[in-house]
C-alpha cells in the first residue's frame, strides 16, 4: 500500500549541511528563523502532511470534486483539513509580515511544499495557486489592492487563481480573446471564457480571486496587447468582506486523468467587474511573476510524487517475497527472498532514490538563491543569484516533473500487477504526476525557453552562473583520490554539455529549427549534469563526515552518488549523440507522409 513519512533527515541535510541554510537567518527579515524554529516548522509540517493530508489522498481521488448548479464541492474531509491547514498558519508561512505572513525563507517553504505534494498533491493545488496570485499582486498590485487582497491570501480565507488558457489557445496567449472594457468608475467589464483553471471554484474559502489575462478594446493584437486584471468571485464591500456576486462563474469541471480532488474549471466571465493590475498591455510581465513561481512549484510537485512513489516501492520491495537471489537464498528460512535482492529491482530503487535526492538538492540550491537574491544588499549580488534561478528554472520544472512521472512508473513496476490495480495506491501517483509535465508550460516549452532565452540572455550571463561553479568544483577536486571516481564522470557529462551547447548555438544561428530540434535533448542533458553536480557536492560533504555516521546516512550518500555517476550520467552520451545528429530527420519528412501508412 502507499505510505508516506516526511524525509526530514534528508531535508535537514540539504537545507542545513549542503547549503548552509541556517545562515539565511542572518539575512534581513529572517532573524526569527533559528535552527530550532526551522526544525519545529519542518516537524509540524511533517505532522499535518502525514496525519491530516495523506489519509485524504486516496479517498479524495476516489470521490473527486462534484459540480452541481454552478457549485463545486471538494471531497469529504477536504474542508475540515483546509480549516486546520489555515489555522496552523501554513498559507502564510512565506508571506510578508506586513500583510500578516510569517516571513519564512523560501528555501524552508519549498521543503514544506514538497511534503504537501507528497502527501496530497490535489489538496496542495488550492493554497499553491493562491501563492502564485499573491506573488503577482505583491509585485505589480497597487497599494490599495495589496492591502485588500494580500492579508486574505495569507490567512487563507480567500484563494487565488491564474486564468490564462482559453478554448482556442493554450501556450500562445497572444490569441487571447477575453475582452476588457473600461467603465466610468475606472473598473473594467471582463467578457470571455477561460478553461483548465485549477482551483477556479470550490467550497474551501469565502472568496476566490481570479487573475485574468484579457485584451482592452483599443489594445494591439498579439502578446503586446494583453493586460492583467483582478476579478473576485464576490465583490469586496467597503469593510473588506465578500459582497455581491460578480459575473464570474463556473460553467463545468473537467473529468481528468489525475489530481481528481483538485477542481479544474471552465470559468465564464459575463461582464464581470475587474481592475487592472500593473500597466496597460503589460499583463504578461505580471503573469510571469506568477508563472515563474508556479514553474518551480510544479517541479516540486514532481519531486514530492517521486518521493512518495519511492517510499511505497521500497517498503514493498523489502516485504514482498518473490523468487530467490541469483547467488543463492538470502532468507532460507522463508519460502522466497524479498524483492530487494534482485538486481533489476535494486536498479529501479536506486534510480528513484538517486533522482529524488539529487533533485531535492537542486531545488534547495535554487531556493536558497531566491532568498539571497531577494535579500541581497548589492545589485551585483542580487543579479548573480537571480541569474542562476533564471537558468535552472526550466531544469527544475521539466526534469523535476519528468522524474516524478518516471519514478511513479518505476514504483508501479516494482509492485508488478499489484501496482497496476488501485488497491495499493501506486497507480494514482502515475495519474497525478502526468499533468505536471504539461501545465505551466509543457516541458517542450521549457526546452525552448532554455535555448531561445536563457542561453542567449545577456550574452550568456545566465549560463555562466551555472557553468562557472561546476567548472571550479571539477578543478578543485580532480586531484582528490577519494573524489576521483565521481569527479571524472561529472567532468565527462559537463564536457558533453559544453559540446552540445556549442553545437546548438552554432547551428541554431543559421537554422532555428536546428535549435528547436535539439532543445529537449539539451535540457535533459543539462538536467543530468545539474543533478550530477549536486551528487558530487553531496559526496564531498559526506566523505568528511564518515567518522560520525552511526546510521550510515553519509555512507549511503557516497554509494548513491557513485551509482548516479556510473549508471545515470552516461545517458548524457546518448543525448549528445542525438543533438550532434542535427534536426534534419525530424524536419525532412513531408507532413502528408505522417499518415501515408493510414491512407494506404
CATH value at residue 68: 1.10.540.10
Instruction: Note whether 121 and 9 are within 8 A (CB).
Output: no
By CB neighbour count within 10 A (0-12 exposed, 13-18 middle, 19+ buried), where does 551 fall?
exposed
- Within 10 angstroms of residue 356's Cβ, the number of other Cβ atoms is 26
Interval 33-90: pLDDT, tens: 999 999 999 999 999 999 999 999 999 999 999 999 999 999 999 999 999 999 999 9
pLDDT level of residue 600 (50, 70, 90 thresholds): low
596 Cβ contact partners less than 8 Å away, ≥ 6 residues apart: none
Q: Mark whether 112 and 171 lie in a shared domain.
A: no
Interval 115-138: pLDDT, tens: 999 999 999 999 999 999 999 999
Helix, coil or strand: residue 588: coil
Q: Does residue 100 form part of some domain?
A: yes
Q: Does residue 180 form part of some domain?
A: yes
Q: How far apart are CA 163 and CA 553, in angstroms?
A: 45
Q: Does residue 296 form part of some domain?
A: no
> What's the pLDDT score for residue 524?
98
> What's the pLDDT score for residue 599?
59
Instruction: Note whether 352 and 410 are within 8 A (CB).
Output: yes
Q: Mark whether 452 and 568 lie in a shared domain.
A: yes
Check 440, 485, 514, 590 and give the catalytic one. 440
Interval 302-357: pLDDT, tens: 999 999 999 999 999 999 999 999 999 999 999 999 999 999 999 999 999 999 99
281, 301, 318 - which closes a domain? 281
Q: Does residue 361 form part of some domain?
A: no
> What's the pLDDT score for residue 301?
98
φ, ψ of residue 130 to 5 degrees: the values are -60, -40
CATH code for the domain of 274 = 2.40.110.20
Q: Does residue 379 form part of some domain?
A: no
Q: How far apart are CA 79 and CA 84, in angstroms?
A: 9
User: What is the CA 92 to chain-centroid distance, rounded?
Assistant: 19
Q: Mark whether 34 and 65 lie in a shared domain.
A: yes
Q: Determine the structural domain holding residue 568 and report its residue range.
A: 443-584
Q: Does residue 219 form part of some domain?
A: yes
Q: Mark whether 100 and 19 lie in a shared domain.
A: yes
Q: Mark whether 105 and 160 lie in a shared domain.
A: no
440 is catalytic: yes
In angstroms, the Cα distances linking 340 to 134, 350, 351, 487, 553 are: 45, 11, 13, 29, 19
Q: Mark whether 164 and 126 lie in a shared domain.
A: no
Q: Mark whether 132 and 170 lie in a shared domain.
A: no
Minimal CA–CA distance to 161: which of 212, 94, 226? Answer: 212
Q: Mark whether 22 and 85 lie in a shared domain.
A: yes
Q: What average pLDDT does this structure show over 489-495?
A: 98
Q: Mark whether 118 and 212 lie in a shared domain.
A: no
Q: Mark whether 170 and 86 lie in a shared domain.
A: no
Strand-strand pairing, 242-245 and 207-216 = unpaired
Residue 269 reports pLDDT greater than 90:
yes
By CB neighbour count within 10 A (0-12 exposed, 13-18 middle, 19+ buried), where does 336 fall?
middle
Q: How many domains does the chain have?
A: 3
Q: Does residue 387 form part of some domain?
A: no
Give just the sign of the alpha carbon dihedral 520, 525, 526, 527.
Answer: positive
Interval 384-412: pLDDT, tens: 999 999 999 999 999 999 999 999 999 99
Interval 155-214: pLDDT, tens: 999 999 999 999 988 777 778 999 999 999 999 999 999 999 999 999 999 999 999 999
Q: How far apart are CA 152 and CA 159, in angstroms?
A: 8
73, 106, 139 - which closes a domain? 139
Q: Does residue 494 form part of some domain?
A: yes
Q: Mark whether 111 and 178 lie in a shared domain.
A: no
Q: Mark whether 103 and 161 lie in a shared domain.
A: no
104, 139, 174 - which closes a domain? 139
- Within 10 angstroms of residue 278's Cβ, the number of other Cβ atoms is 21
Q: How far apart are CA 338 and CA 283, in angstroms?
A: 56
> What's the pLDDT score for residue 237?
95
Amino acid at each position: 500500500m502507499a505510505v508516506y513519512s516526511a524525509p526530514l533527515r534528508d531535508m535537514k541535510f540539504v537545507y542545513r549541511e549542503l547549503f548552509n541554510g541556517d545562515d539565511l537567518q542572518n539575512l534581513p527579515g529572517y532573524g526569527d528563523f533559528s535552527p530550532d524554529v526551522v526544525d519545529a516548522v519542518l516537524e509540524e509540517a511533517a505532522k499535518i502532511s502525514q496525519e491530516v493530508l495523506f489519509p485524504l489522498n486516496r479517498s479524495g481521488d476516489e470521490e473527486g470534486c462534484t459540480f452541481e448548479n454552478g457549485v463545486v464541492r471538494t471531497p469529504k474531509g477536504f474542508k475540515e483539513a483546509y480549516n486546520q491547514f489555515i489555522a496552523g498558519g501554513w498559507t502564510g508561512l512565506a508571506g510578508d509580515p506586513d500583510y500578516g505572513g510569517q516571513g519564512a525563507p523560501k528555501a524552508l517553504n519549498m521543503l514544506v511544499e514538497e511534503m504537501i505534494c507528497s502527501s496530497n498533491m490535489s489538496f496542495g493545488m488550492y493554497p499553491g495557486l493562491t501563492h502564485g496570485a499573491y506573488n503577482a499582486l505583491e509585485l505589480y498590485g497597487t497599494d490599495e489592492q495589496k492591502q485588500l487582497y494580500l492579508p486574505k491570501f495569507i490567512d487563507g480565507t480567500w484563494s487565488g487563481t491564474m486564468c490564462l488558457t482559453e478554448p482556442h489557445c493554450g501556450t500562445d496567449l497572444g490569441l487571447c480573446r477575453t475582452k476588457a472594457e473600461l467603465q466610468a468608475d475606472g473598473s473594467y467589464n471582463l467578457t470571455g471564457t477561460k478553461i483548465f483553471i485549477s482551483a477556479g471554484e470550490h467550497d474551501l474559502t469565502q472568496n476566490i480571486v481570479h487573475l485574468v489575462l484579457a485584451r482592452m478594446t483599443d489594445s494591439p493584437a498579439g502578446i503586446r496587447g494583453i493586460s492583467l486584471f483582478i476579478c473576485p468571485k464576490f465583490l469586496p464591500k467597503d469593510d473588506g468582506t465578500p459582497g455581491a456576486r460578480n459575473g464570474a462563474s463556473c460553467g463545468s469541471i473537467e473529468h481528468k486523468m489525475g489530481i481528481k480532488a483538485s477542481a479544474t474549471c471552465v470559468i465564464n466571465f459575463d461582464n464581470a467587474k475587474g481592475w487592472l493590475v500593473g500597466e496597460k498591455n503589460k499583463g504578461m510581465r505580471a503573469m510571469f511573476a506568477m508563472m515563474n513561481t508556479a514553474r518551480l512549484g510544479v517541479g516540486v510537485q514532481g519531486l514530492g510524487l517521486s518521493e512518495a512513489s519511492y517510499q511505497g516501492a521500497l517498503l514493498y520491495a523489502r516485504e514482498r517475497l518473490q523468487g530467490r537471489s541469483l547467488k543463492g537464498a538470502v532468507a532460507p528460512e522463508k519460502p522466497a527472498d524479498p524483492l530487494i535482492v534482485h538486481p533489476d529491482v535494486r536498479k529501479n530503487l536506486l534510480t528513484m532514490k538517486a533522482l529524488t535526492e539529487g533533485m531535492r538538492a537542486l531545488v534547495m540550491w535554487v531556493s536558497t538563491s531566491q532568498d539571497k537574491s531577494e535579500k541581497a544588499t548589492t545589485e551585483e549580488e542580487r543579479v548573480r543569484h537571480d541569474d542562476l534561478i533564471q537558468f535552472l528554472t526550466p531544469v527544475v520544472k521539466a526534469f523535476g516533473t519528468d522524474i516524478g512521472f518516471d519514478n511513479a512508473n518505476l514504483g508501479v513496476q516494482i509492485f508488478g500487477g499489484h501496482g497496476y490495480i488501485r488497491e495499493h495506491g501506486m497507480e494514482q501517483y502515475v495519474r497525478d504526476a502526468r499533468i505536471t509535465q504539461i501545465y505551466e508550460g509543457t516541458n517542450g516549452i521549457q526546452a525552448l525557453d532554455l535555448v531561445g532565452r536563457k542561453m542567449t540572455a545577456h550574452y550568456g550571463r545566465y549560463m555562466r552562473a551555472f557553468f562557472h561553479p561546476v567548472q571550479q568544483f571539477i578543478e578543485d577536486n580532480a586531484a582528490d583520490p577519494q573524489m576521483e571516481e565521481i569527479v571524472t564522470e561529472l567532468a565527462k557529462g559537463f564536457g558533453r554539455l559544453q559540446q552540445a551547447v556549442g553545437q546548438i548555438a552554432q547551428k541554431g544561428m543559421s537554422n532555428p529549427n536546428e535549435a528547436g530540434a535539439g532543445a529537449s535533448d539539451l535540457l535533459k542533458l543539462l538536467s543530468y549534469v545539474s543533478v550530477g553536480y549536486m551528487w558530487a557536492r553531496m559526496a564531498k560533504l559526506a566523505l568528511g563526515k564518515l567518522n560520525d555516521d552511526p546510521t550510515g546516512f553519509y555512507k549511503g550518500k557516497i554509494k548513491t552518488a557513485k551509482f548516479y555517476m556510473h549508471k545515470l550520467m552516461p545517458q548524457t552520451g546518448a543525448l549528445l549523440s542525438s543533438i550532434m545528429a542535427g534536426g534534419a530527420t525530424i524536419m525532412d519528412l513531408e507532413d502528408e507522409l505522417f499518415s501515408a501508412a493510414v491512407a494506404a
